[in-house]
Structure 1
Amino acid sequence: MNATLIAVALSLVSAAAYAAAAVAQSRLAGRTEPSTGILRLLGRGAWWSAVGLNAGGALLHVAALKYGPLTLVQPLGALTLVAAVPLGARAAGRRVSRTEWRGTVLTLLGLGALLLSSGGTAPHETLSLVEALGVGAATMAVVAGLSRPGTRPGLRHAAASGITSGVASALTQTLTVAVTDHTTGPLFSWRLLTVALLVSAFAMGGLLLSQTAYRGGLGAPLAVVTLANPVAAAAIGLALLGERLQGGAAGLIPALLGAAAAVRGVILLSRAQARPAAVTAEEAGTAAGGAPLSGAPPRVVIGGPRKRDRTPLATEPRALEPLAVRPSGS
């Protein structure tokens, strides 16, 4: 079977596993207080279920990287978004909105354009020790900048998660090629040990960053992760691993158009997620017209009625008393 077809098939199954893991993480984040530490998460079965799904997706992803270049395998991770958005909506008991569908489609079309401009040959180049250390240092600096307090922490943490995951994939490809192709140097060396440690650190860091990103929802953070991941990996592949875009310099045109469409899709998903959803009709116990829903508990107002509500109702006893005519002069 053609190496490219094997890489695509493995990437499809990997994307399905990552989608299920993202939904599990999002549900866990919705049930977890923001102040919950890592040790508390480690004691929850839902966390380990997400870890297992992520591990399965990662193993399939590693296998795909053996048969396809970073510029081919990484954009296929966009299929995670296709599966995760409807799965997340179903888990929340709602339908996917039109804005979410539009954002998902635009993101996928953009990443599809990136995929068409990628190369299709099996990888042979690997990172040197100096290159691996340089990539690791640059990644940690970028993640530190994105993790600082500020606006939209969910999207910034999602970007940091996507970057660390993409870098981990690029480093993983070096390990995979080195283990299976003995012409790249000795199997056991300081270089491969360093790369393996960096892969472990960035993979776990990406998982924890995505967990914090999903506290604000699933769609927009997952779209940012899905976009940042292949961009980071492709940058390493093009700059350091000798990978090339199809069509040479002309291949930059569909790649840039695809990136613009993907960014627009992320913006749409972010807007859909930012809509007020804290108080829904079910939570308020009322229908759209204000009528109580059947079986819904009555709303309780704490602190007494407002001033405009102090007029006695017609059913209250003192409202039914006849008006007393006071004598003049009183």
Structure 2
Amino acid sequence: MTVVAAGLALLGSLFFALGAALQQFEAAGAVPATLRRLIRRPRWLLGGLAIAAGTALHVVALKYGPLTVVQPMGVASLLFALPCAAALRRRRPQPGELAAAAVIAIGLIGLVLVVPEHTGEPRLGTGGAVALLAGAATAALALWAAALQAPPARRAGLLAMAAGVLYGATATLTRVLVDGEWEPWFLLAVPLPALIALALLQRAYAVGHFGVAFAALQVADPLTAVAFGALLLGEPLPTGAASTLTALAAGALTAAGTVALARTTPMSPTPLPAAR
């Protein structure tokens, strides 16, 4: 069953990557790249369906295999996304892009593997939920503000990080809704950060540096969820010298790969205006 879980997670990563590539292709051609404009584009909607299918496959995979097997397979979406995006623009992915993406993937796998699995029931009260939403909103706002005057590659990364922070907060709330104790108003709180994150991510895609944006999203989302899980849900963090050193090395690899990816050719032929 572990092999089945790994296969489902890998297939889910392919769907997720294809969906992200389709949405980036459409977002780069829409000025401005607003959700109102993008939802009228069939290819962008098809990308959304592919992402939904990938997410569903990932959830099913978790029913058949352990988190330590399924989560690293999800990182493969980064390696799939660059060839998909390049194919849509009828060009070959550069060796430097794939090499940088591989380094980031190795780093993310290392980070995933050192985080202990939490088996307890998550609990989040009203105060904790408000702190989660306020913290995520503050971080996302700061990243968005920093992106306004940043050069293109950095702007794409900062906007995608802002989206990743909000997605991480959404994932934390969703985990509580699925497995724990929660207040009724949590159901109304979940869609808002997710929608804002989606809008920010399309702005990041529209800049043109797809690899940077997608990598930043893949990094910020799980790290935010892990941080909120540790701070608010009591979930464990890596302990011991070996785990700490592994986490530091994995973080360094991830950062180095992202910097290298930022120096590659943009996925958009022309510069796009700054996010507003």
Q: TM-score range by the shorter chain?
A: 0.7 to 0.9
Whole-angstrom distance in 1 between the partners of 2:43 and 2:138: 31
Distance 1:109 1:102 in 2: 11
User: Does 1:46 pair with 2:43?
Assistant: yes
- Asked if 1:194 corresponds to 2:191, the answer is no
- Equivalent-residue separation in structure 1 for 2:232 and 2:161 (angstroms): 22
Deviation at 1:197, TM superposition (A): 2.5
Unaligned runs of 5+ in 1: 179-183, 185-190, 280-330
Structure 1 residue ranges (4+ consecutive) displaced by more than 3 angstroms after TM superposition = 5-14, 57-77, 120-123, 245-250, 273-279
- Percent identity at matched positions? 31
RMSD across aligned positions (CA): 3.0
Contact 1:71–1:243 (8 Å) recurs in 2: no
Residues 17, 49 of structure 1: alpha-carbon distance in 2 compared, 3 angstrom cutoff: same
1:81-92 aligned at under 5 Å gives the runs 81-92=78-89
Contact 1:69 1:121 in 2 (8 A): no
Q: 1:277 to 1:46 in 2, by over 3 A?
A: closer
Structure 2 residues not aligned, in runs of 5+ = 272-276
Question: What CA deviation, in whole Å up to 9, does each residue of 1:123-163 have, x standing for no partner?
Answer: 53232222122111110111111112220322111111111
Aligned match of 1:239: 231
Aligned amino acid, residue 231 of structure 1: L
After TM superposition, the structure 1 = structure 2 runs for residues 127-206 of structure 1, keeping only pairs within 5 Å, are 127-148=124-145, 149-151=148-150, 152-178=154-180, 184=181, 191-206=182-197
Read off the aligned partner of 1:195 and give its amino acid letter: F
Distance change (3 Å), C-alpha of 1:173 and 1:262: same
Q: Which has the higher contact order (CA 8 A, sep 6+)?
A: 2
Return the match for 1:227 from 219, 224, 231: 219
CA offsets 1:256-288 (integer angstroms, 9 cap, x no match): 110110011111111003599559xxxxxxxxx
Counterpart check, 1:12 vs 2:10: yes
Aligned counterpart for 1:251 among listed residues 237, 243, 250? 243
Are the structure 2 counterparts of residues 161 and 36 from structure 1 closer, same or farther at C-alpha, using a change threshold of 3 Å?
Answer: closer
What count of residue pairs does the alignment treat as equivalent?
265
Structure with the larger helix share: 2
> Does the CA-based 8 Å contact 1:66-1:173 persist in structure 2?
no
User: Does the CA-based 8 Å contact 2:163-2:196 persist in structure 1?
Assistant: yes
Report the TM-score, using the length of structure 1 for normalisation: 0.70
Distance 1:200 1:57 in 2: 19
Asked whether the equivalents of residues 209 and 267 of structure 2 are also in contact (C-alpha less than 8 Å), the reply is no
- Report the AA paired with residue 142 of structure 2: G
The alpha carbon displacement at 1:198 in A equals 2.7
